[in-house]
Structure formats: structure tokens, C-alpha cells
Amino acid sequence: MGVRLVKNYIVKSGSIDDLKGIVVLDRVVFVLSRTPEEIEDKLKLQKDVHITVATISDGRLVGYGIGHEYKGKYYLWSLAVLPEYRRKGIGSEIIDEQNNFAREKGYASFLVKTSNRWKEMLRLLLKKEFNIIGFKEHEWEDGPLGSAIWLEKNIL
């Protein structure tokens, strides 16, 4: 995977070293309080882990994606972009980078799970030709907004 300069930000492959910045971004976007060590421990159990980061010119992390193998398919486990950097193509570029990695690894399908809370993400995935393949009510404690929506895209 390469480094791509897009508009005023850079999208590139990341590493475990980026987890501290990812945790800070998660606290803003998702109000999550997981630690870098918790994420690293989860990722150690996964196959074909790929981290993608988006930074601006001063090096500040403004978005990321983390994917890995899941039941023989490639799964985008987490994706976040700071609110003030949304609608600038960053999420789309992160998905493309993850998609390219998955294709290079030989995966035929790319999975994503989102929810009604993240309508912008849902619209982006549909625009990128993902198909809704499943739904689970109240997966997260958000009432109707916490229902999980599974999407998949054939990538070969």
C-alpha cells in the first residue's frame, strides 16, 4: 500500500504505533474509552490486520480504518473521521485503501457493520456499491439507532 496525497491530507498504511492517536480520535467520535493495549490485544488475535490512517499536513491524525479477516472475508472493523474533516473524501479514501489491501490479499468479499446512528457512513457505503446483507436490532444500547446493519461488497 502506498502513500496518497489527496487534497489537503495524506492517506497511508498505518501501524500499531498509531494506536495512541486512534484511541484519542475514538474518544471524540465514538466516546469510547478503550486503550491502545486493548486494541492491540484484539488485533493480535486477527489475521490480515491492516491499519489505514489519514493525516493533515502537520501530521495530526484526522481519520483511520482498521480491518482484518472475519469468517473468510475481509472486515472493516472500525473507521472514524473527526467531525470537522467529514464530507471531504477522507472516509471514502480510507475505505478504498482497505479495499485495495483486501483485494491484494485475495479476499472476494469486503464486510462492514454500521448502524442507524451513522447515516453518513451508511450513505457512503451504499454509494460505494456495498449491499445490505443483514440487520440486528438493538446490537448497541442506542435504541433504534443501535441496530446493526451489515453490508458487503464483492471485490474480485
- All three cell numbers of 108, joined, read 472476494
The helix or strand, by DSSP H or E, that contains position 55, with its residue range, turns out to be strand 50-56
Listed as ranges, residues in the chain with pLDDT below 50 are none
- All three cell numbers of 117, joined, read 446512528
Q: What is the pLDDT of residues 73-106, one digit of tens each?
A: 999 999 999 999 999 999 999 999 999 999 999 9
Give me the pLDDT at residue 90, please: 93
Give me the pLDDT at residue 140, please: 65
3 state SS of 30: coil
Distance from C-alpha of 43 to C-alpha of 45, rounded to nearest angstrom: 5
Give me the pLDDT at residue 136, please: 81
Give me the pLDDT at residue 30, please: 81
Q: Report the relative pairing of strands 61-70 and 73-81 from DSSP bridges.
A: antiparallel
Q: Where are the domains of the chain?
A: 4-154
Distance from C-alpha of 65 to C-alpha of 90, rounded to nearest angstrom: 10
Give me the pLDDT at residue 22, please: 92
4-154 folds as Aminopeptidase (3.40.630)
